[in-house]
């Protein structure tokens, strides 16, 4: 009979070891350890502590079957007890507490009766027993030592119960050895979990650091790399949860959600290679400095040169007794000065860029360019250079076609960077998701010209998130801040233009993703009352 029980215990120990290796949730891992130890030994209760960096034992999980106590772990019930110090205030080791003693001396402690043993402080245990009517008797404390011979916790069991008569009995030596074996496996499992979790946290922190660095490169796109992941995951979760419509069967696992979130954080990582002079170009004439200041000086110089020419003509008129011409020349000069002031203000305003520039404004710039001014050598030259005219006539934003090509190339750099990394299996689709957010459903996007059928659904989600964040962004210098209605109207037209995924767009509206995002990130002035029936292309 004893051999049969031992075989069952060993089989159970083996199954627990397998479960420990497979578990990824830390709280569940702790529960498997404690529940397994209780089951193997027949213990009524137990506590699992972990060693903290400041040399204390933190209560992770507490279970007592007969008192129906379950705290910590996945129970959702917080443990209010303060951690046990491994060292007293005077620096002496706290060897009077069983759990601390087991850690400090790296040894198992097996006590038949806590009320009769000497050398340990069980006053807290007695107070607990008195308050609950419990009787703490047999105690087994096992330190958890990992493969580096470091103790990372302690497993403490209370009251082994005899299966035959339900009496409290001491923990047997065989049970102790089994729990010691379990503790060894548990310590390695916890260490591996903490190592994996630590590397994962480091990986995520590094990714977010890259995103922050990209956002910091330009105050005009600040926060974009942080907001796009939020919006992407909102849309992904809503799509996962819908129960009707064309995408009702779409589901994502926890790992797939994680994979998409990482891709969203990395979607613009290629911008690290974009020169700041291009990425952070606040005005059309910005280079090393804003050349509008030079043009302002030219206006003043032109005024001075025009006034000089006028005074020379006035002097000539006075010499030939044509005084009436003098006043006429003065009026013409004042009118020209006023026109120059108007033109200077026009160029300054135009320099900031806009979402649209009229043909009339473009022709006005060319007319200003034709003003004549003398250079330092006395040569008559055009007022504006060809490069200045080219930049000032940018029809949208502040970037020239060449600069926009450099900006657009960030997605190619992103793909090249991400495809060069040795991903684990769970992240293998990160390059695909991150590299397709500028593609279009009709194949007219970039860099690969993919069509809707050639793109995964998560990649299409990122496309909508990227566009909507840019539409609602409040920090672009060349466009006025947009309301939700204005932004959704543009997004709806993009659906009709076969730019974005139509089914995802409908979910974006129907599940009010736009509103959830707005309440978290947009200015109150942007959050107007949206009439969804008026949004172009929306199918209720």
Which CATH number belongs to the domain containing residue 125 in this structure? 3.30.450.40
Same domain, 353 and 437: no
Instruction: Look over the chain and give the mean of its residue pLDDT values, rounded to a whole number.
Output: 87
- Domain match, 145 and 92 both: yes
Residues 259 and 381 in one domain: no
Among 143-152, 251-260, 289-298, where is mean pLDDT lowest?
A: 143-152
406 is a domain residue: no
Residues 79 and 183 in one domain: yes
Cα–Cα distance between 219 and 222 in angstroms, integer? 5
Instruction: Indicate if 384 and 429 belong to the same structural domain.
Output: no
Has residue 412 been placed in a domain?
A: no
In the chain, what are the helix, strand and coil shares in percent, each to the nearest 5?
Answer: 55, 10, 35
Token couple for 356: 């649209």
Beta-carbon contacts of 165 under 8 Å, excluding residues fewer than 6 positions away, are none
Q: Rounded to an integer, what distance in angstroms lies between the CA atom of residue 60 and that of residue 50?
A: 7
Spatial separation of the C-alpha atoms in residues 313 and 310, rounded to whole Å: 5
Give 147 or 364, the one with higher predicted confidence: 364
Per-residue pLDDT of 180-237, as tens digits, reads 887 777 777 777 777 777 888 888 888 888 888 777 766 556 678 889 999 999 999 9
> What does the pLDDT read at residue 442?
95
CB 151 within 8 A of CB 103: yes
- Please tell me the total count of domains within the chain: 3
Contact 47, 136 (CB under 8 A): no
Query: How far apart, in whole angstroms, are the C-alpha atoms of residue 519 and residue 55?
Result: 43
**Cα atoms in the 13 Å half-sphere on the side-chain side of 52:** 13
Residues 373 and 472 in one domain: no
pLDDT at 15 (0 to 100): 64
CA atoms within 13 A on the CB side of 92: 5
| Residue at 409 is within a domain | no
Mean pLDDT of 508-529: 94
Please report whether residue 284 resides in a domain.
no
Q: How far apart are the first and last CA of the chain?
A: 69
Q: Is residue 334 part of a domain?
A: yes
Do 43 and 149 lie in one domain? The reply is: yes
Say if residue 525 is in the same domain as residue 440. yes
Dump pLDDT digits (tens) for 379-411: 999 999 999 999 999 988 888 888 888 877 888
Query: pLDDT confidence of 8, banded at 50, 70, 90?
Result: low
Whole-number pLDDT of residue 200: 84
Whether residue 337 lies inside any domain: the answer is yes
In this structure, the answer to whether residues 447 and 529 fall within a common structural domain is: yes
Boundary of a domain, candidates 398, 427, 442? 398
Residue 298 predicted with pLDDT over 60: yes
pLDDT of residue 1: 43
**Which of these three, 344, 367, 398, is where a domain ends?**
398
Q: Do 96 and 9 share a structural domain?
A: yes
**Mean pLDDT, residues 52-71:** 92
Residues 373 and 322 in one domain: yes
For residue 244, what are the domain limits? 218-273+417-534
pLDDT above 70 covers what percent of the chain? 93
Q: Residue 123, class by beta-carbon neighbours within 10 Å (0-12 exposed, 13-18 middle, 19+ buried)?
A: exposed
Q: What are phi and psi of 302, to 5 degrees?
A: -65, -40
d(CA 356, CA 509) in angstroms, rounded, equals 27
Residue 247 and residue 130 share a domain: no
**Which CATH number does the domain housing residue 519 bear?**
1.10.3210.10
Rg of the chain over all Cα atoms, to the nearest angstrom: 37
């Amino acid at each position: 009979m004893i051999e049969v029980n031992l075989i069952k215990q060993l089989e159970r120990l083996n199954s627990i070891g397998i479960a420990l290796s497979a578990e990824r949730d830390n709280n569940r891992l702790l529960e498997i350890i404690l529940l397994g130890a209780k089951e193997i030994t027949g213990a009524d209760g137990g506590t699992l502590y972990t060693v903290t960096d400041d040399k204390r034992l933190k209560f992770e999980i507490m279970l007592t079957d007969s008192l129906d106590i379950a705290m910590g772990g996945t129970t959702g019930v917080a443990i209010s007890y303060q951690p046990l110090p491994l060292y007293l205030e005077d620096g002496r080791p706290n060897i009077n507490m069983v759990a601390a003693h087991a850690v400090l001396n790296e040894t198992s402690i097996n006590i038949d009766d806590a009320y009769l043993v000497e050398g340990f402080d069980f006053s807290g245990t007695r107070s607990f027993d008195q308050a609950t009517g419990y009787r703490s008797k047999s105690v087994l404390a096992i330190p958890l030592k990992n493969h580096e011979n470091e103790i990372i916790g302690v497993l403490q069991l209370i009251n082994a119960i005899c299966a035959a008569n339900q009496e409290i009995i001491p923990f047997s030596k065989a049970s102790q050895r089994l729990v010691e074996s379990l503790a060894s496996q548990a310590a390695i499992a916890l260490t591996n979990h903490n190592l994996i979790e630590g590397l994962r946290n480091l990986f995520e922190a590094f990714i977010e650091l890259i995103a922050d660095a990209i956002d910091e490169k330009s105050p005009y796109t600040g926060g974009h790399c942080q907001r796009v992941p939020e919006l992407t995951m909102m849309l992904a979760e809503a799509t996962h949860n819908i129960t009707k419509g064309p995408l009702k069967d779409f589901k994502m696992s926890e790992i797939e959600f994680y994979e998409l979130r990482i891709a969203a954080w990395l979607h613009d990582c290629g911008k690290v290679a974009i020169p700041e002079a291009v990425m952070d170009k606040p005005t059309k004439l910005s280079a090393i400095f804003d050349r509008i200041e030079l043009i302002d000086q030219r206006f003043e110089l032109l005024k001075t040169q025009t006034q000089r020419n006028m005074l020379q003509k006035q002097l000539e008129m006075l010499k030939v007794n044509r005084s009436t011409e003098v006043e006429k020349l003065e009026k013409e000069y004042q009118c020209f000065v006023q026109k120059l002031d108007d033109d200077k203000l026009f160029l300054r305003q135009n320099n900031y860029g806009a979402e649209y520039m009229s043909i009339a404004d473009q022709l006005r710039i060319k007319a200003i360019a034709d003003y004549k001014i003398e250079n330092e050598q006395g040569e008559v030259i055009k007022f504006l250079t060809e490069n200045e005219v080219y930049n000032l006539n940018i029809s949208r934003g502040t970037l020239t076609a060449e600069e926009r090509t450099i900006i657009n190339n960030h997605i190619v750099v992103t793909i090249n960077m991400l495809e060069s990394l040795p991903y684990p299996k769970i992240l293998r689709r990160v390059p695909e998701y991150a590299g397709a957010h500028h593609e279009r459903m009709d194949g007219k996007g970039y860099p690969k010209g993919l069509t809707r059928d050639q793109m995964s659904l998560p990649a299409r989600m990122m496309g909508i998130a990227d566009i909507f964040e840019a539409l609602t962004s409040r920090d672009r210098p060349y466009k006025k801040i947009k309301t939700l209605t204005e932004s959704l109207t543009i997004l709806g037209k993009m659906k009709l233009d076969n730019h974005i995924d139509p089914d995802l767009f409908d979910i974006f509206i129907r599940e009010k993703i736009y509103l959830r995002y707005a309440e978290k990130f947009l200015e109150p002035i942007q959050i107007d009352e949206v009439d969804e029936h008026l949004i172009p292309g929306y199918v209720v």
